[in-house]
Amino acid sequence: MDDLYYLRLALDCARNSPPKPTNFRVGAVLLSPSSSPSILTTGYTLESPGNTHAEQTCFIKLAGTHNLPGPMIEDHLGPHLPEDVVLYTTMEPCNKRSAGNSTCVERILKLRRADGSAAIRKVVCGVSEPEKFVGENLGRKRLEEAGIEVVHVPGLEEEILEVATAGHEKEG
């Protein structure tokens, strides 16, 4: 399985996100890698209505294909997922959000199989979330404590950050 290949796909998704000064343009891919790898869905920041994140959009789109009701789709989506789901996201899933939104870490942790185990078994990301908006991201630790492998794949950092911050005011 080529992590860098799918991370690149996620980065291509991020390029579709509208540039804004107040958030990062992130892209995500949900993959079922076993035997013949299949992409379950993709998403990017602000793709779904509202202030939506890339990972959140993936879950919303996938819930749509299973006719699951909102708003807490993560409570119902887990048992519908294949057993080997890997989440590729250009930026480490957020662990803090303003205005009472669920974080992507919380959403990932809520995705459980019928037996209670984590439905997403691995998260692959290209960069940690920059501390500009939310401070230090302790999400990785929370995910790992739930048995989810978190992997940073190096090589695309510069490109990812360039795309992520395209709508931000340039310093200096």
- Judged by beta carbon, residue 22 or residue 36, the one nearer Zn ion is 22
Token readout for 53 is 């994140």
Comparing CB distances to Zn ion, the nearer of 32 and 51 is 51
Contact pick of 13, 104, 123, 143 for Zn ion (by CB under 5 A): 104
Please tell me the distance from the alpha carbon of residue 125 to that of residue 104, in angstroms, as a whole number: 13
Identify which of residues 23 and 81 has a Cβ nearer to Zn ion in the complex. Answer: 23
**Stretches 3-11, 37-45, 94-102, 119-127: which one binds Zn ion (CB under 5 A)?**
94-102
Name the segment binding Zn ion (CB under 5 A); options: 102-110, 115-123, 133-141, 142-150.
102-110
Please tell me the chain's helix, strand, coil percentages from 3-state DSSP, rounded to the nearest 5.
30, 20, 50
Which neighbouring-strand residues pair with 63?
A: none
Tokens describing residue 170: 């340039």
Among 29, 63, 85, 94, binds Zn ion (CB under 5 A): 94
Residue 101 in tokens: 């939104």
Q: In the complex with Zn ion, which residue's Cβ is closer, 107 or 112?
A: 107
Quote the tokens at residue 135.
Answer: 């401070």
Question: How many other CB atoms sit within 10 Å of the CB of residue 157?
Answer: 14
For Zn ion, which stretch binds (CB under 5 A), given 53-61, 80-88, 123-131, 161-169?
Answer: 53-61
Q: Which residue has the tokens 């107040």?
A: 22
Cα radius of gyration (the chain): 15
53 lies in the site for Zn ion, by CB under 5 A:
yes
Residue closer to Zn ion, measured from CB, 37 or 134: 134
Which parts of this chain interact with Zn ion (CB under 5 A)?
53, 94, 104
